[in-house]
Structure 1
């Protein structure tokens, strides 16, 4: 297992990873038919992300295949450049193997190096595995967003969670 920064060469495999995650779990933002980016659009998005300086995607690679990722998306303005919003996805067959912890470890090291002060994320309140991981790596619940997501025709609450880096 290798954790590394994404590159534009990962574009096609990253799209496939994200599409597979969209099919496997209802905890991701997009439904299976919503992801429409083609390889060139994804390549452009990766290049823009890498050029931003305060955003990054780390990928988990196993035997040449992408099996998970953690996206850290930094603020765009002076008042919020110190924080990044986290999105993570790990294929179900690779869950529980320490990949999530490793992705967070790499992300936190990178964040500290570039002067990030706050990591934040949202998680559906019934996502027990996600909640356990986030608490394990030091995130705390700051609040609840009621009826925040619409999943299978039902409204779902989300927790707002954060970790302050000192």
Structure 2
């Protein structure tokens, strides 16, 4: 499995929510959602009944966002009903075009259920893919829940906007928070183990890597799937499946091909292929499994995953495989999109079971070489 099934890091509700780009036909439901939000929260800019935006104006706004590379509107839909949204509005002047400003809101009845985290995660993935450098937002200094969420995604407080707002007759301070994405690594020359692309170096894992691989894998797993905290089942899964001993055994396994990605002598990601591992849902041929492809969050969007995947495919072909398959979690939309864009096809449903819990995965596969070495 390249992406382990979620140990319910998201709640069942967040897992069921659909996070997608808003389209013109969402205009009326988005206006209704915003009015409901204005009526139940003092953390938003508008007061109840203050907005005078018409449906056609909202359609025009959504249409304009489609043509802007640094702007987007995302909506969270649960059982066909919008329950949250995120606006990312980019700056239009050339000297600010690398930046965007976020506004996020979720219905009070759905607070603490992972909806905001899902929206923010999708927005951060979009901002990196769009090549943006700076993502910023403002938040009430008393909105501790939101501040904690933003910090989880790497936002830092840049400053204090004193008496920025007046709410119910009193002055309210806001924090200005931001994330700065690292500059992307050029990807015009494919890297192979032992070669570098700009700062990135890919090489085969060695026994001394087991400790760092263990810690990085735990970090990526928990950052992705334990967004609502740690449960005993999650803790046991991480400490057993991602231990230093587990990686020592994997490195020594003759069927394993583990490639590590380094920048400035620091481990930032890895790919783990199991040669000859087959699955009935994968296309017929000499199969291998992409067991894991993990990249540390600050290095996503810098082509590290792309380079690791290319190297994983090369290693599988070199070992005689012509099909590479993996099983990402059904709700890991960023991973699903990543593999689809690189030619992997959805071959059906499979499940990941641990601690008595069953979680839906999808099996993705790609033919990486002509079968039987034919041209």
Q: Which TM-score band (shorter chain)?
A: over 0.9
Structure 2 gap ranges (5+): 1-16, 183-375
Residue 53 of structure 1: how far off its partner (Å): 2.2
Alignment correspondent of 2:151: 135
Aligned: 1:110 with 2:123 = no
Alignment correspondent of 2:205: none
Q: 1:24 aligns with which of 40, 62, 67?
A: 40
Equivalent runs, 1:72-83 vs 2, <5 Å: 72-83=88-99
Distance in 2, Cα, partners of 1:79 & 1:62: 38
Residue 54 of structure 1: how far off its partner (Å): 1.4
Alignment correspondent of 1:34: 50
Alignment correspondent of 1:120: 136
Please report the TM-score for the alignment, with normalisation by the length of structure 1: 0.98
Alignment correspondent of 1:154: 170
Alignment correspondent of 1:63: 79
Q: How many residues align?
A: 166
Aligned: 1:96 with 2:112 = yes
Q: 2:68 aligns with which of 32, 49, 52?
A: 52
Structure 1 or 2, whichever has the larger Rg, is 2
- Write out per-residue CA displacement over residues 90-127 of structure 1, whole angstroms, 9 at most, x where no aligned residue: 00111111111111111111111111011100001111
Distance in 2, Cα, partners of 1:138 & 1:112: 13
For the residue of structure 1 that corresponds to 2:20, the secondary structure is: strand
